[in-house]
Amino acid sequence: MPSTELPNLLAATAAPKPGAVAVAEGERLGSVGLPGLTLTVRSRPSVRPGLPPALFVHGLGGSSQNWSALMPLLEDVVDCEAIDLPGFGDSPPPDDGDYSLTGHARAVIRYLDASARGPVHLIGNSLGGAITTRVAAVRPDLVRTLTLVSPALPELRVQRTALPTGLVAVPGVAALFARLTREWTAEQRVRGVMGLCYGDPEKVTPEGFSAAVREMERRLQLPYFWDAMTRTARGIVNAYTLGGQHGLWRQAERVLAPTLLVYGGRDLLVSFRMARRAAAAFRDSRLLTLPDAGHVAMMEDPQSVATGFRELLVDLGELSAPRARIVRDGCAAGDSRTGSGS
């Protein structure tokens, strides 16, 4: 897709407009218009020109803000951009209402084609991990490396703590939940989300909690909030039922890009036991396990995730001066993280 498909690229702004999402210091927020699709892009310019591009993709109910803690730790090695998927963050719903996993993957591909940034270091969390797995499988030319933080790949035995998220996909359940929780405050909702996503919610700073509450308040005012959540959750469930070449595990086996897998030992949504299966499925993989992290390691322990990504670049010869090594099939000295390759 030619770069001329970016006619509505707006000038990035240093501060959010009234009612818009927050923008951290050093970040810029812009909007990219494609036919039938508008994407908000959060960027953090690299410290020097010529660094390779990286694109970050968030999970269900998240936004590009989920990467604001990690991007500053990588701005000296990659040029960082994070998108808001259609219907999430500050991106409006897609015109065709397609919230399927394929629809979201197509949005990422269209952005990469239109911006001519590929191949990129592609980094995804949860739903974003499933989306980026599909992108890497069907468009290897766009992906330099793949980093997956608690990727939402199919599990035969889903954890009981993850069942409520899956139930959102059932027709009528989201509307019922919205009615039953009408009186819940934004603070109550944020505490519930953090309890599910963080290994230790008590580590969230008061400032971080307040920012999350403000964002929750903003999202609840969006008329399409529950529709985007419901249809995307349904898209994940539908993707899990696909077999053959369209199955996510089969697509994981087709990924050619060097892959870093990050799993949290306290993850209540993606089972920690899936880490070894993922390491075996991705042909050129490295495994980073963080025993104290939950579902969003890039927010809970961004330093460890950044170190893991840097070590991936060291392995590929793209970065010198390595930090503490991630070893294969064993434990690093003085470190609880493990690494393995397949």
- pLDDT the model gives residue 320: 79
- pLDDT the model gives residue 2: 39
- pLDDT the model gives residue 244: 73
Q: With 70 as the cut, is the pLDDT of residue 338 above it?
A: no
Distance CA 48, CA 57 (A): 23
Looking at per-residue pLDDT, the higher value among 172 and 149 belongs to 149
- pLDDT the model gives residue 212: 94
| DSSP, residue by residue, 43-82 | EE--SSTTPPEEEEE--TT--GGGGTTTHHHHTTTSEEEE
Strands 37-44 and 143-149, by their bridges, are unpaired
Q: With 60 as the cut, is the pLDDT of residue 72 above it?
A: yes
Rank 222-231, 232-241, 276-285 by mean pLDDT and report only the highest: 276-285
Strands (E), 231-273: 259-264
Q: With 70 as the cut, is the pLDDT of residue 89 above it?
A: yes
- pLDDT the model gives residue 297: 98
Distance CA 133, CA 148 (A): 8
Q: How confident is the model at residue 182 (pLDDT cuts 50, 70, 90)?
A: low
Give the rounded percent of residues in the chain with a pLDDT score beyond 90. Answer: 67
Distance CA 39, CA 33 (A): 7
Looking at per-residue pLDDT, the higher value among 69 and 172 belongs to 69
Distance CA 114, CA 35 (A): 11
Q: With 60 as the cut, is the pLDDT of residue 16 above it?
A: no
Q: What is the mean pLDDT of the chain?
A: 84
Q: Are 67 and 40 in contact (CB under 8 A)?
A: no
- pLDDT the model gives residue 158: 53
Q: With 60 as the cut, is the pLDDT of residue 339 above it?
A: no
Distance CA 247, CA 137 (A): 11
- pLDDT the model gives residue 178: 56
Q: How confident is the model at residue 110 (pLDDT cuts 50, 70, 90)?
A: very high
- pLDDT the model gives residue 98: 96
- pLDDT the model gives residue 174: 47
Query: What predicted TM-score, i.e. pTM, was given to this entire model?
Result: 0.84
241-263 pLDDT per residue, tens: 877 778 999 999 999 999 999 99
Q: With 60 as the cut, is the pLDDT of residue 276 above it?
A: yes
* Element holding 122 (H helix, E strand): strand 120-125
